[in-house]
Amino acid sequence: MEKKIRIGITGYGNLGRGVEAAIKQNEDMQLVAVFSRRDPESVGVEDKSVKVLPITEARDYQAEIDVMILCGGSATDLPEQGPEFAQFFNTIDSFDTHAKIPEYFAAIDKVATNSGKTSIISVGWDPGMFSMNRLLGEAILPEGETYTFWGKGLSQGHSDAIRRVPGVKAGVQYTIPIEEAVNRVRNGENPTLTTKEKHLRECYVVAEDGADLREIEETIKTMPNYFADYETVVNFISEEELKNNHSKMMHGGFVIRSGVTGAGNKEIVEYSLKLDSNPEYTASVLVAYARAAFKMNQMGQAGAKTVFDVPIGLLSSKSPEQLRKELL
Protein backbone atom coordinates (compact mmCIF):
# COMPACT_ATOMS: atom_id res chain seq x y z
CA MET A 1 0.00 0.00 0.00
CA GLU A 2 1.34 3.38 -0.97
CA LYS A 3 1.25 6.31 1.40
CA LYS A 4 -2.25 7.68 1.79
CA ILE A 5 -3.26 11.06 0.40
CA ARG A 6 -3.60 13.33 3.40
CA ILE A 7 -6.68 15.58 3.32
CA GLY A 8 -7.62 18.68 5.30
CA ILE A 9 -11.08 20.22 5.45
CA THR A 10 -11.89 23.87 6.02
CA GLY A 11 -15.43 24.51 7.21
CA TYR A 12 -17.53 21.84 8.87
CA GLY A 13 -21.11 22.32 7.74
CA ASN A 14 -23.13 19.86 5.65
CA LEU A 15 -20.50 19.76 2.92
CA GLY A 16 -17.57 19.33 5.33
CA ARG A 17 -19.36 16.47 7.06
CA GLY A 18 -20.02 14.92 3.66
CA VAL A 19 -16.31 15.12 2.84
CA GLU A 20 -15.44 13.38 6.11
CA ALA A 21 -17.88 10.58 5.24
CA ALA A 22 -16.60 10.29 1.66
CA ILE A 23 -12.96 10.02 2.72
CA LYS A 24 -13.89 6.96 4.80
CA GLN A 25 -15.01 5.26 1.57
CA ASN A 26 -11.62 5.78 -0.10
CA GLU A 27 -8.85 3.59 1.25
CA ASP A 28 -6.07 5.60 -0.32
CA MET A 29 -7.05 8.73 1.60
CA GLN A 30 -6.96 9.91 5.15
CA LEU A 31 -8.51 12.91 6.89
CA VAL A 32 -5.84 14.70 8.91
CA ALA A 33 -7.53 17.80 10.27
CA VAL A 34 -10.63 19.97 10.15
CA PHE A 35 -10.12 23.73 10.32
CA SER A 36 -12.97 25.89 11.52
CA ARG A 37 -13.71 29.46 12.53
CA ARG A 38 -15.78 28.12 15.40
CA ASP A 39 -14.40 27.13 18.79
CA PRO A 40 -12.80 23.73 18.03
CA GLU A 41 -14.56 22.29 21.10
CA SER A 42 -17.93 23.00 19.51
CA VAL A 43 -17.20 21.49 16.07
CA GLY A 44 -18.49 17.91 16.64
CA VAL A 45 -16.27 16.08 14.13
CA GLU A 46 -17.44 12.49 13.93
CA ASP A 47 -14.04 10.80 13.97
CA LYS A 48 -12.43 11.74 17.28
CA SER A 49 -8.92 10.94 16.02
CA VAL A 50 -9.13 13.85 13.57
CA LYS A 51 -7.60 17.13 14.78
CA VAL A 52 -9.96 20.09 14.98
CA LEU A 53 -8.08 23.37 14.72
CA PRO A 54 -8.71 27.08 14.34
CA ILE A 55 -8.69 28.04 10.67
CA THR A 56 -6.06 30.69 11.41
CA GLU A 57 -3.54 27.93 12.18
CA ALA A 58 -4.03 26.07 8.89
CA ARG A 59 -0.85 27.30 7.26
CA ASP A 60 1.22 25.60 9.97
CA TYR A 61 0.04 22.25 8.60
CA GLN A 62 1.43 22.53 5.07
CA ALA A 63 3.80 19.61 5.63
CA GLU A 64 1.02 17.34 6.87
CA ILE A 65 -1.69 17.95 4.28
CA ASP A 66 -1.54 17.03 0.59
CA VAL A 67 -4.89 18.53 -0.44
CA MET A 68 -7.16 20.99 1.37
CA ILE A 69 -10.84 20.69 0.55
CA LEU A 70 -12.49 24.08 1.01
CA CYS A 71 -16.05 23.58 2.25
CA GLY A 72 -17.05 27.20 2.83
CA GLY A 73 -19.81 29.04 0.99
CA SER A 74 -19.44 30.72 -2.39
CA ALA A 75 -20.89 34.07 -1.32
CA THR A 76 -18.28 35.20 1.19
CA ASP A 77 -16.00 32.33 2.34
CA LEU A 78 -14.48 31.06 -0.90
CA PRO A 79 -13.66 34.38 -2.60
CA GLU A 80 -11.39 35.02 0.38
CA GLN A 81 -10.28 31.50 1.33
CA GLY A 82 -9.65 30.23 -2.21
CA PRO A 83 -6.75 32.54 -3.08
CA GLU A 84 -5.51 32.50 0.55
CA PHE A 85 -5.22 28.71 0.75
CA ALA A 86 -3.84 28.27 -2.78
CA GLN A 87 -0.67 29.90 -1.47
CA PHE A 88 -0.02 26.94 0.80
CA PHE A 89 -2.03 23.95 -0.36
CA ASN A 90 -3.38 22.08 -3.34
CA THR A 91 -7.08 22.91 -3.05
CA ILE A 92 -10.50 21.74 -4.17
CA ASP A 93 -13.60 23.86 -3.88
CA SER A 94 -17.21 23.93 -5.06
CA PHE A 95 -17.40 27.63 -5.96
CA ASP A 96 -20.79 27.90 -7.64
CA THR A 97 -21.51 31.57 -8.31
CA HIS A 98 -21.60 30.99 -12.07
CA ALA A 99 -21.25 34.64 -13.07
CA LYS A 100 -18.12 35.13 -10.98
CA ILE A 101 -16.25 32.00 -12.04
CA PRO A 102 -13.94 33.82 -14.51
CA GLU A 103 -12.66 36.30 -11.93
CA TYR A 104 -12.43 33.63 -9.22
CA PHE A 105 -10.44 31.40 -11.59
CA ALA A 106 -8.07 34.26 -12.42
CA ALA A 107 -7.47 35.09 -8.74
CA ILE A 108 -6.70 31.48 -7.84
CA ASP A 109 -4.64 30.85 -10.95
CA LYS A 110 -2.30 33.74 -10.18
CA VAL A 111 -1.66 32.54 -6.63
CA ALA A 112 -1.43 28.82 -7.40
CA THR A 113 0.87 29.30 -10.37
CA ASN A 114 3.20 31.26 -8.09
CA SER A 115 3.07 28.80 -5.23
CA GLY A 116 3.36 25.75 -7.48
CA LYS A 117 0.10 24.33 -6.11
CA THR A 118 -2.81 22.78 -8.01
CA SER A 119 -6.27 24.17 -7.33
CA ILE A 120 -9.34 22.64 -8.94
CA ILE A 121 -12.27 25.05 -8.63
CA SER A 122 -16.04 24.74 -9.05
CA VAL A 123 -16.14 20.98 -8.46
CA GLY A 124 -19.39 19.16 -7.66
CA TRP A 125 -22.39 18.36 -9.82
CA ASP A 126 -23.41 21.82 -11.02
CA PRO A 127 -20.91 23.26 -11.61
CA GLY A 128 -19.08 19.99 -12.15
CA MET A 129 -20.59 16.83 -13.63
CA PHE A 130 -23.40 18.79 -15.30
CA SER A 131 -20.87 21.22 -16.82
CA MET A 132 -18.91 18.29 -18.25
CA ASN A 133 -22.02 16.91 -19.86
CA ARG A 134 -22.95 20.31 -21.29
CA LEU A 135 -19.48 20.48 -22.83
CA LEU A 136 -19.52 16.92 -24.15
CA GLY A 137 -22.99 17.50 -25.56
CA GLU A 138 -22.10 20.44 -27.74
CA ALA A 139 -18.61 19.21 -28.67
CA ILE A 140 -19.93 15.86 -29.92
CA LEU A 141 -23.24 17.07 -31.35
CA PRO A 142 -22.55 20.62 -32.59
CA GLU A 143 -26.02 20.90 -34.14
CA GLY A 144 -28.49 20.71 -31.29
CA GLU A 145 -29.71 22.14 -28.02
CA THR A 146 -28.61 21.58 -24.44
CA TYR A 147 -31.14 21.55 -21.60
CA THR A 148 -30.35 21.57 -17.90
CA PHE A 149 -33.18 20.68 -15.51
CA TRP A 150 -32.77 20.81 -11.75
CA GLY A 151 -34.71 18.74 -9.25
CA LYS A 152 -36.68 17.34 -7.83
CA GLY A 153 -34.64 18.90 -5.10
CA LEU A 154 -34.47 21.03 -2.04
CA SER A 155 -33.23 24.52 -2.80
CA GLN A 156 -31.40 26.05 0.14
CA GLY A 157 -31.64 29.62 -1.14
CA HIS A 158 -35.36 29.45 -1.81
CA SER A 159 -36.06 27.71 1.49
CA ASP A 160 -34.22 30.56 3.27
CA ALA A 161 -36.35 33.06 1.38
CA ILE A 162 -39.56 31.41 2.58
CA ARG A 163 -38.38 31.46 6.16
CA ARG A 164 -37.89 35.21 6.00
CA VAL A 165 -41.60 35.78 5.21
CA PRO A 166 -43.48 37.24 8.24
CA GLY A 167 -45.66 34.61 9.91
CA VAL A 168 -43.54 31.70 8.65
CA LYS A 169 -42.05 29.51 11.35
CA ALA A 170 -40.28 27.01 9.10
CA GLY A 171 -40.38 25.78 5.56
CA VAL A 172 -38.68 24.18 2.58
CA GLN A 173 -38.84 24.65 -1.15
CA TYR A 174 -38.47 22.03 -3.85
CA THR A 175 -37.50 22.82 -7.41
CA ILE A 176 -39.36 20.40 -9.69
CA PRO A 177 -38.87 19.89 -13.42
CA ILE A 178 -42.12 20.37 -15.34
CA GLU A 179 -42.89 16.96 -16.81
CA GLU A 180 -44.37 18.21 -20.05
CA ALA A 181 -41.23 20.25 -20.78
CA VAL A 182 -39.02 17.26 -19.95
CA ASN A 183 -40.99 15.00 -22.26
CA ARG A 184 -40.78 17.45 -25.14
CA VAL A 185 -37.01 17.60 -24.74
CA ARG A 186 -36.64 13.83 -24.43
CA ASN A 187 -38.69 13.43 -27.61
CA GLY A 188 -36.20 15.53 -29.51
CA GLU A 189 -38.57 18.45 -30.18
CA ASN A 190 -35.87 21.00 -29.26
CA PRO A 191 -38.29 23.53 -27.75
CA THR A 192 -37.16 26.97 -26.61
CA LEU A 193 -37.62 27.00 -22.84
CA THR A 194 -36.68 29.51 -20.15
CA THR A 195 -35.73 28.35 -16.66
CA LYS A 196 -39.24 29.13 -15.42
CA GLU A 197 -40.84 27.18 -18.23
CA LYS A 198 -38.81 24.17 -17.18
CA HIS A 199 -39.35 24.25 -13.41
CA LEU A 200 -42.06 24.75 -10.84
CA ARG A 201 -41.49 25.64 -7.21
CA GLU A 202 -43.28 23.74 -4.48
CA CYS A 203 -43.21 25.11 -0.91
CA TYR A 204 -44.00 23.34 2.34
CA VAL A 205 -44.61 25.95 5.02
CA VAL A 206 -45.17 25.81 8.78
CA ALA A 207 -47.01 28.98 9.83
CA GLU A 208 -46.83 30.66 13.21
CA ASP A 209 -49.95 30.27 15.34
CA GLY A 210 -52.59 32.71 14.19
CA ALA A 211 -50.74 33.84 11.08
CA ASP A 212 -52.72 34.82 7.98
CA LEU A 213 -52.14 31.91 5.62
CA ARG A 214 -53.49 33.72 2.57
CA GLU A 215 -51.13 36.58 3.13
CA ILE A 216 -48.16 34.26 3.53
CA GLU A 217 -49.06 32.46 0.31
CA GLU A 218 -49.46 35.76 -1.53
CA THR A 219 -46.14 37.11 -0.20
CA ILE A 220 -44.30 33.98 -1.29
CA LYS A 221 -45.89 33.78 -4.73
CA THR A 222 -45.16 37.41 -5.56
CA MET A 223 -41.60 37.51 -4.22
CA PRO A 224 -39.42 38.96 -6.97
CA ASN A 225 -36.50 36.90 -8.34
CA TYR A 226 -37.34 33.90 -6.17
CA PHE A 227 -40.96 33.05 -6.99
CA ALA A 228 -42.84 35.73 -8.93
CA ASP A 229 -41.82 34.44 -12.35
CA TYR A 230 -42.47 30.79 -11.57
CA GLU A 231 -45.41 28.53 -11.20
CA THR A 232 -45.37 28.27 -7.41
CA VAL A 233 -47.36 25.94 -5.16
CA VAL A 234 -47.63 26.62 -1.41
CA ASN A 235 -48.65 23.86 0.98
CA PHE A 236 -49.15 24.48 4.71
CA ILE A 237 -48.14 21.62 6.94
CA SER A 238 -47.47 20.90 10.61
CA GLU A 239 -44.08 21.18 12.21
CA GLU A 240 -44.08 17.43 12.76
CA GLU A 241 -44.82 16.70 9.11
CA LEU A 242 -42.00 19.02 8.06
CA LYS A 243 -39.58 17.19 10.30
CA ASN A 244 -40.69 13.71 9.26
CA ASN A 245 -41.05 14.18 5.52
CA HIS A 246 -38.91 17.11 4.53
CA SER A 247 -35.61 16.90 6.36
CA LYS A 248 -33.60 15.07 3.68
CA MET A 249 -31.38 17.20 1.49
CA MET A 250 -32.42 15.44 -1.68
CA HIS A 251 -31.63 16.86 -5.07
CA GLY A 252 -30.84 15.93 -8.63
CA GLY A 253 -31.62 16.86 -12.17
CA PHE A 254 -30.50 16.16 -15.69
CA VAL A 255 -28.60 17.53 -18.63
CA ILE A 256 -29.99 16.60 -22.04
CA ARG A 257 -28.30 17.20 -25.36
CA SER A 258 -30.67 16.78 -28.25
CA GLY A 259 -28.77 16.86 -31.52
CA VAL A 260 -28.98 15.96 -35.16
CA THR A 261 -26.43 14.14 -37.31
CA GLY A 262 -26.22 13.30 -41.01
CA ALA A 263 -29.48 13.60 -42.89
CA GLY A 264 -31.65 14.42 -39.88
CA ASN A 265 -30.97 11.57 -37.50
CA LYS A 266 -31.84 12.48 -33.90
CA GLU A 267 -29.33 11.66 -31.19
CA ILE A 268 -30.36 12.21 -27.57
CA VAL A 269 -27.90 12.09 -24.69
CA GLU A 270 -29.03 12.39 -21.09
CA TYR A 271 -27.09 12.55 -17.85
CA SER A 272 -29.20 12.38 -14.73
CA LEU A 273 -28.74 12.41 -10.98
CA LYS A 274 -31.17 11.26 -8.28
CA LEU A 275 -29.58 12.10 -4.96
CA ASP A 276 -30.78 11.35 -1.45
CA SER A 277 -28.12 13.72 -0.16
CA ASN A 278 -26.99 16.66 -2.22
CA PRO A 279 -24.10 17.60 0.15
CA GLU A 280 -22.84 14.01 0.43
CA TYR A 281 -22.80 13.49 -3.33
CA THR A 282 -21.13 16.85 -3.90
CA ALA A 283 -18.58 15.92 -1.25
CA SER A 284 -17.93 12.60 -2.99
CA VAL A 285 -17.11 14.46 -6.19
CA LEU A 286 -14.78 16.82 -4.30
CA VAL A 287 -12.92 13.89 -2.77
CA ALA A 288 -12.38 12.17 -6.14
CA TYR A 289 -11.02 15.44 -7.54
CA ALA A 290 -8.74 15.81 -4.50
CA ARG A 291 -7.04 12.65 -5.72
CA ALA A 292 -6.65 14.19 -9.17
CA ALA A 293 -5.26 17.45 -7.75
CA PHE A 294 -2.67 15.50 -5.80
CA LYS A 295 -1.57 13.57 -8.90
CA MET A 296 -1.55 16.63 -11.16
CA ASN A 297 0.60 18.47 -8.65
CA GLN A 298 3.04 15.57 -8.56
CA MET A 299 3.19 15.79 -12.36
CA GLY A 300 4.08 19.47 -12.08
CA GLN A 301 0.73 20.79 -13.33
CA ALA A 302 0.29 23.83 -11.11
CA GLY A 303 -2.29 26.62 -11.29
CA ALA A 304 -6.07 26.84 -11.30
CA LYS A 305 -7.97 24.05 -13.06
CA THR A 306 -11.58 23.11 -13.63
CA VAL A 307 -13.27 19.80 -14.40
CA PHE A 308 -12.62 20.61 -18.07
CA ASP A 309 -8.84 20.38 -17.52
CA VAL A 310 -8.64 17.11 -15.59
CA PRO A 311 -8.27 13.77 -17.44
CA ILE A 312 -10.87 11.65 -15.66
CA GLY A 313 -8.49 8.71 -15.26
CA LEU A 314 -6.83 10.74 -12.50
CA LEU A 315 -10.00 10.56 -10.38
CA SER A 316 -9.54 6.84 -9.87
CA SER A 317 -7.26 5.09 -7.42
CA LYS A 318 -6.65 2.44 -10.08
CA SER A 319 -3.65 2.49 -12.41
CA PRO A 320 -4.09 3.46 -16.07
CA GLU A 321 -3.43 -0.18 -17.05
CA GLN A 322 -6.12 -1.42 -14.70
CA LEU A 323 -8.61 1.18 -15.92
CA ARG A 324 -8.05 0.25 -19.56
CA LYS A 325 -8.46 -3.42 -18.74
CA GLU A 326 -11.49 -3.18 -16.47
CA LEU A 327 -13.50 -0.17 -17.52
CA LEU A 328 -12.75 0.82 -21.13
What is the contact surface with a second copy in residues (CB under 8 A)?
Answer: 18, 21-22, 25-26, 98, 101-102, 105, 122, 127, 129, 131-132, 134-136, 138-143, 248, 259, 261-263, 265-277, 280-281, 283-285, 288, 291, 306-313, 315-317, 320-321, 323-325, 327-328
Select 132 or 207, whichever has its Cβ closest to a second copy: 132
Cβ-based nearer residue to a second copy, 18 or 72: 18
Q: Output the smallest distance, CB 203 to a second copy, in A.
A: 23
Taking only Cα atoms into account, the Rg of the chain, rounded to an integer number of angstroms, comes to 22
The whole-angstrom distance between residue 269's C-alpha and the CA centroid of its chain comes to: 22
Minimum gap (Å) between residue 199 Cβ and a second copy: 20
Amino acid letter for position 255: V
Pick 125 or 230: Cβ nearer a second copy: 125
Minimum gap (Å) between residue 325 Cβ and a second copy = 5
Would you say how long the chain is, in residues?
328
Least spacing, CB of residue 250 vs a second copy, in Å: 9
Euclidean distance between CA atoms 67 and 9, whole angstroms: 9
Distance CA 175, CA 158 (A): 9
Mapped onto helix, strand or coil, the DSSP state of residue 248 is: coil
Q: How far is the CB of 173 from a second copy (least distance, A)?
A: 20
CB of 287 to a second copy, least distance (A): 8
Task: State in angstroms the smallest separation of the CB of 21 from a second copy.
Answer: 4
Among candidates 201, 217, 99, 212, which has minimal Cα distance to 157? 201
The DSSP code sequence of 147-189 is EEEE-SEE-HHHHHHHHTSTTEEEEEEEEEE-HHHHHHHHTT-
CB-nearer residue toward a second copy: 191 or 313: 313
- For a second copy, give the closer residue by CB, 170 or 268: 268
Our CB check for a second copy shows the closer of 63 and 308 to be 308
Torsion sign over Cα 109, 83, 310, 156: negative
The residue among 110 and 266 lying less far from a second copy, judged by its C-beta, is: 266
Give the helix ranges, DSSP H, for the chain: 14-24, 77-85, 101-115, 129-140, 156-163, 179-186, 195-198, 213-221, 239-245, 278-298, 320-326
Beta carbon nearer to a second copy, 186 or 221: 186
CB of 289 to a second copy, least distance (A): 9
- Strand intervals (E) in 37-113: 51-54, 67-70, 90-93
Sign, Cα dihedral of 32, 288, 311, 99: negative
